A and B are shown apart, each in its own frame.
Chain A
Amino acid sequence: MSWMAWTTPTALFFTFIAVLLAGMTAWELRAPSVPRRGLLPIATTRGDRLFIGLLGSAYWHLMVIGLTDWSIWTATALSVVWLSAVMRWG
């Protein structure tokens, strides 16, 4: 795997994503989700909300990095809040 040029932060990132997907799969098997309408203007399943949350998180990071001098941890904190809010109320 050395050709993939792994670093600790990227390995942690992908581990987090893999654990998240595995967890969501287990949750889905245990309690299948039903599409519902929350604050988002469309009806979403749990998986949809995860996708929207993760995509939004990526854009939060890009905005903080591109438009401000803030630390990347600010973007990560914003993303955690965003992801939790979308999963709960989206």
Chain B
Amino acid sequence: MNKVPNNHAWWLVLPVFALVAFSAILPMMTVVNYSVQDIFDPSTRFFVGADWYRQVLQDPRLHDSLLRQFVFSACVLAIEIPLGIAVALCMPTRGRWASLCLIVLAIPLLIPWNVVGTIWQIFGRADIGLLGWTLNAAGVSYNYASNTLDAWVTVLVMDVWHWTSLVALLCYSGLRAIPDVYYQAARIDRASNWAVFRYIQLPKLKSVLLIAVMLRFMDSFMIYTEPFVLTGGGPGNATTFLSQTLTKMAVGQFDLGPAAAFSLIYFLIILLVSWLFYTAMTHNDQTR
């Protein structure tokens, strides 16, 4: 039987394309235009070629922020992905407790970023915060406002608290979608819990883990509000990540040209790393 391809359904994509063009493509084209000009407003501008790119690429602030950003995203993924899987595996599969766990896990996801930053800012304070006061009372010198390590640990723990739930919920939905026959076959083979996890659950979780890794990488790479509210980028520049450096440049100093060049480099880094993650994870599926 000859199958006749019909591509008319592609017309249905047009409204989405128009929306994305309006909200993303046109603004990005504008950013490209800004990045090659010394611009204050559309009527006051001079073409400078690739000068802003050269300046930004040789700027030590960008190098430092980029390094901090990669370390932060790597830590976030290294903690949140295994922890999210572990939480999902420990959750009850059905009944009232399952519903309760789902609601409790969803709560951090509902809290706005700036509120999360404020919660942890107060929680970590040595004078009035439960965490800061307790640690100091226990003899642990803890001050996220003056100690770099404390600031980093607090920002990381805050992100883990805020976003591990997302990974756990995604993994939980993935685990629930595994047909029971796999577990029955494993029981017949007397497979250990580890073998069930390694050869049934983990491979079946691959697609949701791909989404989880991508979302957490992109979000952590773009993190702004939480560390800004918690530490203001300090002590010094210890927790100043890429988006904060960019905001300082674009909004604080109103350097629109360099900020536009910075944005595009930032975008290219996220695009490359996300594509590498996606290709590596889907390529394994194809070769298997």
Within 8 A of B (CB), among A1-45: 2-7, 9-10, 13-14, 29, 42-43
Contact code string A69-86 (vs B, CB < 8 Å = 1, else 0): 000100000000000000
- Give the contacting residue for B32; candidates A13, A29, A62; CB below 8 A: A13
Contact B272 A66 (CB under 8 A): no
Residues of A contacting B49 in the complex (Cβ-Cβ under 8 angstroms): 9, 72
B74 at the interface (CB under 8 A from A): no
Overall SS of chain A's interface: helix
Contact B30 A4 (CB under 8 A): yes
B45 at the interface (CB under 8 A from A): yes
Instruction: Output the nearest chain A residue to B265 by Cβ-Cβ distance.
Output: A62
Contact A66 B34 (CB under 8 A): no
Q: How large is the interface on A (under 10, 10 to 19, 20 to 34, 35 or more residues)?
A: 20 to 34
Contact A62 B57 (CB under 8 A): yes
A32 CB to closest chain B CB (Å) equals 8
Instruction: Output the nearest chain B residue to A44 by Cβ-Cβ distance.
Output: B279
Instruction: Output the nearest chain A residue to B35 by Cβ-Cβ distance.
Output: A10
- Give the contacting residue for A9; candidates B34, B36, B58; CB below 8 A: B36
Contact B29 A59 (CB under 8 A): no
Q: For the complex, count residues of B whose C-beta is within 8 A of A.
A: 28
- Give the contacting residue for A10; candidates B32, B43, B54, B268; CB below 8 A: B32
Within 8 A of A (CB), among B19-59: 26, 29-30, 32-34, 36-37, 39, 42-43, 45, 47, 49-50, 53-54, 57-58
- Give the contacting residue for B271; candidates A5, A43, A55; CB below 8 A: A55
Of the A-B pairs whose beta carbons lie under 8 Å apart in the complex, a sample of 14, sorted by A's number, is A2-B43, A3-B30, A5-B30, A7-B47, A9-B36, A9-B49, A10-B29, A43-B286, A55-B268, A59-B268, A59-B272, A61-B50, A62-B57, A65-B50
- Which residues of B come within 8 Å of A, CB atoms? 7, 26, 29-30, 32-34, 36-37, 39, 42-43, 45, 47, 49-50, 53-54, 57-58, 265, 268, 271-272, 275, 279, 283, 286
A4-B33, A62-B57 known; 20 new pairs, CB 8 Å cut-off, are A2-B43, A4-B26, A4-B29, A4-B30, A5-B30, A5-B37, A7-B36, A7-B47, A9-B47, A10-B32, A14-B29, A55-B268, A55-B275, A58-B268, A61-B53, A65-B50, A65-B53, A65-B57, A66-B53, A72-B49
